[in-house]
Structure formats: structure tokens, C-alpha cells
Structure 1
Amino acid sequence: MGARLRAVLSLLLWPAAALIGRLRYAQKFLLVGLVLLVPLVVTANSYIAVQREQIDATVREQQGLRYLRTLLVLAGDMVQARRSAVSAGFDLSVNLDAALARVDEVDRQVSGSWQVHAEWGKTREAIVTTMEMATQAKSVQFTKYQEASDSILALIVTLGDRSGLIHDPDLDSNYIARMLQDWLPSLGDIAGRIADLLELNSQGQGDEQLKVFMELGKYFGVVSNSGQHLARAADAVAASGGDDGVVAAIRSQSRELHTVTEAMGGRLALAVKHQSLQQFPSHSADAVRVATNNYASVAVSSLDRLLQIRIERSTDRIERVQGWLGMGALLAVYLFAGFYISVATPVRRIVEALRAVAGGDLSRRVEISTKDEISFIAEVLNETIMTTEAATGRLALLASSDPLTSLPNRAAVLERLDAALLRVQQGSSLLAVLFIDLDRFKLVNDSFGHEAGDTVLRAVAERLITGMRRTDMVARLAGDEFVVISEEISEIGSAVSVAERIVASISEPIRIAVNDTHRDVAIGASIGIAFVATGNPVSADDLLRDADVAMYQAKQKGRGRVEIFDESLSAALEHRVRTEQDLRNAIQCDELVVFYQPIVEADTRSIVGFEALVRWQHPTRGLLAPDAFIPVAEESGLIVPLGAAVLLQACSQLSQWQRERPGCERLRMSVNVSALQLDHPSFIPTVAAVIETTDIDPASLWLEITETSLVADVERATAAFEALHDLGVGLALDDFGTGYSSLAYLQKFPMQALKIDRSFVDRLGRDPEAAVIVEMIIGVARTLRLLVIAEGVENEEQADELYGLGCTLYQGYHFGRPAPAEKQWQESGTSIVAV
């Protein structure tokens, strides 16, 4: 995969590399300068274009504001004209013709940009029609004026949307635009209508008093709502941190409008309370209308100021970017010219020196007067030239030997095998390759440190060299793997005898230094042998692989032995690899099935728990027992995800039983845990996550650990057990009596139960020593206050004898075979007991 990726990258980059390679230094610097400057210029121009677009948008808003100003004035004049029309002897001398003319002028200049000319025409026609109805009844005139005012307010909203005012990106500008478009015109118009309604009613031309009160209440709701919107908008403008003058003006107008609006509200409440319109003087509404008009005038000026400030800022940014861009371009050209002059000459000298060294002239030196990194390169190059010959020798040595043991390394082994294979094809003798892997070396490394491990490796190398012929090659491949290559072997038995002597030699104790003291450690070796004879062509890699496969077989058969490669071993290895691949898929595809075997209480013969036992429902091989795949899982590391899957499935089943089956509330579930799982950093978090996911009581989960897990790494086991104990999980020591644990370990680790190995139970009634051992185990458990579970109880005689010896819990075929969850309760034939 890596080679393919490099090939693709080389193919993609070849045109650029070819182009750069054809250019001289001056051309390369010019190209680099263009590559750097062009993006800079493009970026700067893009930024300038954005600023200009913002200026255009702001100018468009200014034009809209200009149009809006005339409409606001016209709206105010319409309110005054309506008041004059409905009032008796009240003439405000409003010149609507002049206001219309001002709007017409602005419309001719800018309305084409927003297509509001048609809307203005309709509004203008409505206003002119209203002006021609002076002879009509006052109530009719009031209605027509209302319609014309509504048309102006709708046009203001349309204009604010199409000119972009209402979509202004700045918070303060946006809120002021909303004031001018939505709230101030509406507030001024409604305040005028309130005053006009009062005037019509006083003349006896309005509706009945109840309807007038209802209408006034509706209008005052609009006034109150608009006043709240305006107050919040003024606060938002102040909070935006914009222009101080604008903030002060808006706050001042907001306070004034709030004062008169509150006063009008109080008088209106008084009028409603006394059911008298005389309690509500019309000048209160007039005061609100006047304050609204003043607010609108200030808001227009403030918004125009903010828009102009934005235009000036954008213009200033454009001028600054253009200035910095010009200065940057000039500076870049100047620096690139100086860079070329300071680099080109030293580089040329360095290249000339390298060419001389490549030609074999090691007397050449580079002289550079600069004080930069190139001078450092020249110094390093001069030092490199002086040490090239010595470094070449050292590199040749390191390329073919192992620095720790001084033995040949893998590269030397492959080279020797290639030559030896050619000689075998030309002669009649055998070529033997002995693949040696140390036993229990990891335990030495983990227990006494890597320095002790290095001592062992050097000692093994010396013993190998001592026992070999001068024509044999002894090499170290990696880690604790060694190889012996023996040529001109007359028969297979000779190589086997050599391998057996190696096993005996390496098995002798090796003295190491530990904490200023010396101690002897015993390791061993497993050896696989592969042979090549004339007429049997094979590659060096294949020969090493075959020897490795034979060594693996020696490990599988108990270690400390010698195995010879044949095709059956290759088939076995292939079967193991296929099993590992299938198991990996099985974990991902949920092919693992959990069976459950009951654990019963000795006195009542009732179920107190189950042990979860994994099976594999293989798609082609059928249901597989653990022996068919658990060893592969442990060797490949798949035992960690496999164990997590089994734990989750078992705890989920326990949770279901505890919820759905009466009497199962305190049922326990035992799950086996391997040493690899216990040692893995994800194990404790996995257990905690499963408990939380399945929502079980941690005390109802028991984890069964073998004795070998305790002694493999006592410190790590202690830390893991303490973490599990903190979670509240129970711990049981499985297969007790067959391992290496001691009473000290049992006292140190927080165990709750011991499981007597089935080998002792099976011998009860036939071997008196078995009864003694079982009685001793039960006595130890009783002393340490531990529960005792006897495994493999196959008949009633065994159960009775165990009961007589004091055993408290049984597990075996006599009480129930492992079965799927759905069949478990039918097959067990026992009841449930809460313990």
C-alpha cells in the first residue's frame, strides 16, 4: 500500500518536479515569487471587492433611507390632515401637495432600483382621492384618510425590504431601520387615530360609546406593544457599542416617548374606569404622535450617520489594503533579489564540491563567507567529507550485524541463504535452517528489566557460537529469535542432534545482575528446522517461514523441544490463520453464542446463579466448543473483544432474567476472564460500561480468574482486582488446586469464592487422596471466609460426599448441562432460591 501511494504521488508530482528541474536559480526564485505574490494580490483584490460590494449595498440603503424620510414626513402630514378634517375649527394648515411633490421627486430619482414606482402610484392616487372629499361627512373622510395612511405604511414596509434597510447586517442599524419601518410610523398613525376618534365622538359623529372604548382599547394595545418594541430596540442599539452620539440621541427619544405613552395609558385607564371619554383628553394622543414624529426624525438622522460611517470605514480599509499591497509587492521583489544573490553563489559552490566528492575527491572543501544557515551547511558538508570513508565502513558493519550481540542480522541471513541455496542446487548435501525462539524470555524482561533481558540475549548468543561449526552461521533475527544456518548436512538426524544440544545448552541457568546482587534465571528454547535438498527450489524467505512454522509447532506442543517442518504443519498454520480470520468476523457479525450452566446451592439444590460459557455458531463448521477457538483468540489478542462481547451478552441475559422471572432478583452470573483480558487497559472501563448499560447490580456479576492470571503479573493483577472490587463486582478463583497460587495470594487478593477443579471432584469415591485435597481446600476457604464451588459434579454420590466435606455450591452435568438461555430453565429442572 505504501509503495503504491508513493508511486501515485510521484506520478502526480512529476510534471512540477520536471518543470522546476529545468529552471535556473533566477527562474526558480522568480517562479516562487509569482506563486507567493499572485495569491496575495488575488486575496487582496477579493477583499477589496467585498468592501466595495458593502459600500454599494450601504449606498443603496442610504437611497432607500432618503425615500423613506419623505414617506415618513408624508405619513405625519396625513395624520395632521386627518385631524384637520375631523376637527371642528381645528386647522393645522397641512400642505399635502408639497409633501406629495417631495415624494414624487425622490421616486423619479431612485425608485427604479427597487420597483416601488407602481406602489407609490396607487398610494398617491388614494391620497389625492382623499383630499378631494372635503365636502363629505367627517366620518367618511376619517375612513378614507385611514385607508390612505394604511397604504403609506404598507409602502414604507415594502421600501424597507427592497432597499435592504431591514436586512442591514449591523445590529444597531438593523434595529433603527425596524423602528422606522415598523414601529414609529404605526405608532404615530395609531396615536393620531385615537385623537381623531375622540374628536368624532365629541361631535356626535362617531360610533356608540362602548364601541369607541373597544376601538380605543385595541389601538392602545398596539401603542403599548410598539412602545415596548421601541424600548427594547433602543436598548439593543445602546448594547451594540456603536456611535456614542447615536446611542445618546436614541436613548433620549426613547425616554421621551416612553413618558408620553405612559401618560396616555394612565388617562385612558381613567377614562375606562369612569366610563367617560371626557376623562381622556385628546392632547395625550397628540403628545404621543408628536413624540413619535420627533423620534422618527432623530432615527433617520442616526441611521444615515451610521451608514455614512460604514461607507467611510470600508473606503479606509480599501485604501489601507491597496497601500499595504503595494508596499508588500515592492518589499517582496527587493527581498527576493537579495535572497537570490545571497543563495545562488554559495549553492553553486556546494554543488561543485558535491560533484567532486561524488567523483572520489575527498580533499575538496567549501568556503563560504555568509553567516546564515548555508554557512552551517557548508561546515557540515566539510565535516561529512572528512568522515565519509569511516562512516561508510561503519554503515556497512551496522547493515549486516546486530548491535547487541554482534551476530549477523536478518539482512545478512537472507544474503547467506541466497548463496547457500545456490550451492545446494549444485551439490548433493542438505541445507538446514534452525529457527530458535526463547521460552519464558518475556517473563525475565518483565520481572527484572530490559537490561537483564539484554544480558540473557548476549549469553544465548555466546552459547550458540560455542556449539556450532566454524562453517555454520549464527544470527539474531529480532527480539528473542535466533537462526542457525548449517550447510553440507549429510542427514536430517545430524541437524536434529545439533538442535537438541542447543535446547540443552540454553536451558542451563544464566546469571544476571539484579539490584547489586546476582541470581540465576532459567529459560528454554523451542526450535523449528526446515531442510532443503537438491532439486527442491525454494526462496530464502520461504525457508525462514517454514522453519518459523515448525518452531511454532514446538511451542504448541509444550516448548523446550525440536520440530521438523512438513506440509502438514503448513496446513495447520493455514487452518489457524483461517480460524483467526473467521473468528474476527464472528465477533463483528454476532456469531458468538453464550450457553449457561446452573450453579446450585448444596442444601436446597436450588439455582443461585449461572456460569456463562461461550460457543461459536460457525457458518460452515457448525457449533464449535471453546477448545476450537479460545487458544487462537488468546494468541491473536482477539480474546479482548471476544470477552467483552460475552460479558455484555451474559449481563444482558442476567438483567432480563432478574426483571422477568419471579425469584431471580438476586440471581448471579459468573463470567470467565483470561489473563490477557485482565492485563488489557480497556478491561476495567469495559466492565463498568457493561454494568451501566445492562443496569444490573454489580454484586450479581462474578468474574472467574484462573490461578495463572494471579502469578503472571502480581502488581497489575492487584491493581485490576482493586478496581473491580471498587466497582462492587465479585471475584472467584477458578480451577483452584491446579496452579501456583499460595495462601499469601489468597489473602492479598479480594476474592469471594474458590472453585474446586473438576479433576479432584472426578476422583472422589475412587481416590482417598482426592477427598483429603478437597477437604483441605474447603478448610482453607472456610478459614478465609470464602464460598466454595465444586465443578464437574456428575452424580449424586459425588454431591453427597462434597456435602459431607462442607461444600456449599455445586456445578456439573448432574444439575444441568450448558444450554442456551431459552432452554436453561426447562433443562435444569431446579427451582430458584434468593441468596
Structure 2
Amino acid sequence: MTVPASRVRRRPRTPGRLLPLLLATALLLPVAFLVVRGHQLVDADRELAERERLGVEYLRVLGPVTEALVNAQTAAVAGRSVPRDALDRAVEAAAAVDTRIGDELRSTERWAGLRAKLEGLPSRSLTDPEVAFTAYGEVTDLLLALHGKIRETSGLIRDPGSDSYFLQDGVGEEMPEAVVAAGRLVDLAVLMPQRPAAEQARSLGQLATLRFAALQPAGDLVDDLQTVVETSESAGIGADVLTPFDNYQRAVEALAALSQPDSRTQAVDLTKLTAARSQAQTAARELQPVILDELDRLLRQRIDQLDRDDLLILAAGGVAVLLLAALGASGWLPRRTGTPPGRDTAPGDPAETTAATRWEPPTRSGRPPAGPVPVLQPVGQSSESDRWRPFDAAR
């Protein structure tokens, strides 16, 4: 007897095919978050470096203003004609820079107040040198405060690099303070002989204070540059800074020695002290652009590195997205079963292996019946005699 096996139809495994797509989507979300977050951090660092470069540009024009103002103060205290040409040119150059980038650095209001004070200084020497000393001292204090404002708003004061931090500290804080204090030191030495004898003790105290105020920032500047030269990873920074740095260091040492009052007369040699101050100021004028150029180079190098890091982050994110998309697509696309033509079942289907057999009951002895062995016939196939049976009945 022939027993046909029931045909089992496969149901699509939709939940199993959705699993790779869901897994790829779940992995894509944290990858996208990391890429976006990394891009934002790199972009923030790049904006900070660009703003620091604006601070470097602003400090570059404040250097000539500082030097011209100190020279004008020395001339006013000494009773000479004040050289306004150099000061006016320096002020105009600084005003042009402030007009362009002052809003971003939030320095416009402070510069406007300083410029009004600078333009209000008399072109002629004041009759009272003490009044000139005080008036110019107030303006130089505002100028030093502007240096600090630029360092703060531009982010230079928070620079993360070791070399760039010491460079900005030296050129933006220590150098202008040393130049201003050295000018005041010489001006006070000029005023001391003109004061009454009763004020000589107070004058010596002021001289010691100004001597310390001039030598401390100068020494800090020397320390900053020594640290940069000795520990810098840049091969060219030492050669660029070394020569003007040595000149400045020698000038500061001479200024320190000559500003010490004589033990007998309690006086200083004005001629030698003025010459030492001029040498220190000239060395600072030569050193400032070198430091600013090196600082700007380090910032540009950092910006280029940040641009490369940003490209790597975006490229890694793109590759991750492509791989996850391929993973999801491979699990979602249907697979070809390879069923031969004319069949309704796929290879390996249980319905295909189900067969019909011609069954003979066993004998009473339990032995298999004699005769030919039963032949297994797959479902859907017939023997040769079954095929010709209708023709035999017709005959």
C-alpha cells in the first residue's frame, strides 16, 4: 500500500531575518554618537586655537604701543619733548587691529578707554615731573591690564600645550611688565635727586620696590624661555630664540647690577642705568616678534593636526556605518533555496525524504515474508508497471 507523506510548507523566518538588522541599528546609534561627539570636541579645540591666534595678532601690535609709551614717559619725566610720532603710529596700528577683531576678543571697550587716555597725554613735557610720572603710570597700568584681557579672552592663558603656554606667558605678561617696570625704575632714579632730603628714605624704598618689579618678570621671562628651549620637541625653536634670548638675559643682568644703589651715597649711576635699560628694551623689541612667530607657528601646527584628526574621525565613522549597513543587509536579504524545477519542496525538506512502501504483513512466525524485498518509492514517483496499467486494461 502506498502512503503519501504530507507536504510541509516552510514558513518565512521573519524574526530571525530581522535580528541582524536590529543589531546593526543598535550598534549604529553609539557609533554615530561617538563620531558626532568626537567631531564636536575637535571643532571646539580648533576654534580655541584660532582664537588664540587672534590674541597673538593683538599682542603683536601692543608691543610697539608699550615701548612708545615708556619712552614718552621717560621724556616727560626728564623734562624733554615727548616723541608723539612713534606713539601715534603705534596707537593707529593697534586701533586697526581692534576694529577688526576687538569684538571677538571683547576688548573694544577697554581699548577705547585706553586710547582716550593715550590721546589725552600732553605732547609737551609737564612742568611737574612728579605729575608726569603719576599720569603716565596710570596709563601704563591700563595698558598692562589690556595685555591680561587679551590673554584671557583669546584663551592664551589656558593654552594646553607646554611650549605654547610658556611662550604666551612670557610675551604676554612677563615681557610688558618688565619693560614698564624698567622704565619706571629709571624714571624714579631721575626723580630721586630732585626730591627733598626728608623723602630720600621713602624714595629708596620705592626704588627697591621698582627694582624687584622690574627684575622679577624679567627673571620669569628668562625661566620661561629656558624651559621652552630645553624641553621643546621642536628642533628649530632653540636656534630661533637663542640669540635674542641671550641678548635680553645679559641686558637684564646688567640692569639688575646697575640699579643697586651705592652703599655710601645711596645713589645710582643714571648714565649707566639708562644705557642698561635701553639695551634691555632693545633686546625685548627683538625678542618679542621671535616669540610671537614661534607661538603662532605652534598654533598653526596644532590646527593642522586637529584637521587631520577630524578627517580620521569622520572616515572611521563612515567605515563603521558601511560595515553595519552591510551586516544588516546580509541578514535581511532572502536566501535562494535552489529547488529543482518541477518540485514544490526544497532539498532537505522532510516531505522529500518521506517515502511510500509496499507493505506485506509478517508471517505468524514473525519472519519476513519470502519473496522480493519491499521497494521504497518516493512520493510522487510510480513504478514501471503502474505506468502501463491503464493501457493493459484497455486491451
Q: Structure 1 length as normaliser, TM-score?
A: 0.36
Is 1:140 equivalent to 2:131 in the alignment?
A: yes
CA offset at residue 198 of structure 1? Answer: 3.1
Instruction: Please give the alpha-carbon distance, in whole angstroms, between the structure 2 residues aligned to 1:312 and 1:212.
Output: 54
**Separation in 1, partners of 2:220, 2:251:** 16
Give the aligned partner of residue 183 of structure 1. Answer: 174
Q: 2:30 aligns with which of 25, 34, 39?
A: 39
1:127 to partner: Cα distance: 1.6
Aligned to 2:97: 106
1:183 Cα deviation (Å)?
1.2
Q: Residue in 2 aligned with 1:761?
A: none
Q: Within 1, Cα distance between the matches of 2:57 and 2:265?
A: 46
SS at 1:276's partner residue? coil
Q: Distance in 2 between matches of 1:60 and 1:51?
A: 14
Q: What residue in structure 2 maps to residue 165 of structure 1?
A: 156
Residue 539 (structure 1) aligns with: none
> Secondary structure at the residue paired with 1:95?
helix
1:152 pairs with 2:136:
no
Pair 1:281 & 2:277 matched: no
Map of 1:313 onto structure 2: 305
Of 279, 283, 296, the match for 1:304 = 296
Task: List per-residue Cα deviations over 1:326-355 (Å, max 9, x = no partner).
Answer: 3444455456656888x9679xxxxx9999
C-alpha contact 1:139 1:206 (8 A) present in aligned 2:
no
Q: Structure 2 counterpart of 1:189, which letter?
A: V
Q: Does 1:119 align with 2:71?
A: no
Note the alpha carbon deviations across 1:711-764, whole angstroms, 9 max, x for none.
xxxxxxxxxxxxxxxxxxxxxxxxxxxxxxxxxxxxxxxxxxxxxxxxxxxxxx
The CA distance in 2 between the partners of 1:294 and 1:189, in whole Å, is: 16
Residue 174, structure 1, aligned to residue 165, structure 2: yes
Alignment of 1:636-655 (within 5 A): none
| Equivalence map 1:243-642=2 (5 Å) | 243-269=234-260, 271-272=262-263, 275-278=266-269, 280-334=272-326
Looking at structure 2, the residues matched to 272 and 105 of structure 1 have their Cα atoms a distance apart, in angstroms, of 50
Aligned residues: 333
Query: Which residue identity does 2:300 align to in structure 1?
Result: Q
Residue 159 to residue 53, structure 1, CA distance change in 2 (3 Å): same
| Cα distance change of structure 1 residues 362 and 32 upon mapping to structure 2, 3 Å threshold | farther
| Shift in alpha-carbon separation, 1:142–1:269, aligned structure 2, 3 A | closer
Which whole-Å CA distance do the structure 2 matches of 1:142 and 1:66 have between them?
A: 30
Residue 215 of structure 1 is matched in structure 2 by 206
Cα 1:134–1:28, aligned 2, differ >3 Å: closer, same or farther? same
Distance of 1:302 and 1:273 partners within structure 2: 46
The answer to whether 1:229 aligns with 2:220 is yes
Please identify which structure carries the higher helix content.
2
The equivalent residue for 1:530 is none
Residue 148 of structure 1 deviates from its aligned partner by: 0.6
Contact 1:194 1:285 in 2 (8 A): no
Aligned to 1:130: 121
Name 1:735's counterpart in structure 2. none
RMSD: 3.5
**Structure 2 unmatched runs, 5+:** 1-12, 338-345, 356-395
Counterpart of 2:52 in 1: which secondary structure?
helix
Q: Distance in 2 between matches of 1:210 and 1:284?
A: 25
Pairwise CA distance, 1:140:
1.9
The separation in 1 between residues aligned to 2:41 and 2:89, in whole angstroms, is 40
Displacement of 1:314: 0.8
Aligned to 1:77: 68
Aligned to 1:556: none
Q: Whole-Å Cα distance in 1 between the matches of residues 79 and 58 of structure 2?
A: 34
Once the two structures are superposed, residues 665-685 of structure 1 have per-residue CA deviations (whole angstroms, 9 ceiling, x without a partner) of xxxxxxxxxxxxxxxxxxxxx
| Residues 85-107 of structure 1: per-residue CA shift (max 9 Å, x gap) | 23366776642222222222222
Contact 1:249 1:298 in 2 (8 A): yes
Pairing of 1:660-671 with structure 2 (within 5 A): none
Q: Which moved more, 1:129-138 or 1:139-148?
A: 129-138
Paired residues for 1:641-720 under 5 Å: none
2:43 maps to which residue? 52
Contact 1:194 1:216 in 2 (8 A): yes
Shift, 1:273, TM fit = 5.7
Cα distance in structure 1, aligned partners of 2:231 and 2:331: 49
For each residue in 1:623-661, what CA deviation from the matched residue of structure 2 results, as whole angstroms up to 9, or x when unmatched?
xxxxxxxxxxxxxxxxxxxxxxxxxxxxxxxxxxxxxxx
Structure with greater Cα Rg:
1
Letter in 2 for 1:319: L
How many angstroms does 1:283 deviate by?
A: 0.8
Match among 59, 64, 70 for residue 68 of structure 1: 59
Secondary structure, in 3 states, of the residue corresponding to 1:277?
coil
1:192 deviates by 1.2
Where do 5+ consecutive residues of structure 1 fail to align?
1-20, 347-351, 364-835
Aligned residue number for residue 746 of structure 1: none
SS across alignment from 1:288 = helix
Percent identity, aligned pairs only, is 21
1:22 shift after superposition: 4.7
**Equivalent position amino acid for 1:140 in 2:** V
**Over residues 193-215 of structure 1, what are the superposed CA-to-partner deviations in whole Å (9 max), with x where a residue is unaligned?**
1222334456x479855444332
C-alpha distance in structure 2 between counterparts of 1:262 and 1:96, whole Å: 28
**Alpha carbons 2:75, 2:125 under 8 Å: kept:** no
2:298 partner SS: helix
Q: Give the distance between the partners of 1:256 and 1:293, measured in 2 at CA.
A: 11
* CA contact 2:61–2:90 (8 Å) conserved in 1: yes
Q: 2:237 and 2:112 mapped to 1: Cα distance? A: 34
Counterpart code for 1:101:
E
| Structure 2: distance between partners of 1:139 and 1:206 | 13
Deviations 1:541-583 (A, max 9, x none): xxxxxxxxxxxxxxxxxxxxxxxxxxxxxxxxxxxxxxxxxxx
Greater strand percent: which structure?
Answer: 1
| Correspondence 1:23 to 2:15 | yes
- Asked whether the equivalents of residues 187 and 292 of structure 1 are also in contact (C-alpha less than 8 Å), the reply is no
Q: Tell me, in whole angstroms, the C-alpha distance in 2 between the residues paired with 1:229 and 1:281.
A: 21
Q: Residues 56 and 74 (structure 1 numbering): CA distance in 2 closer, same or farther, change over 3 Å?
A: same
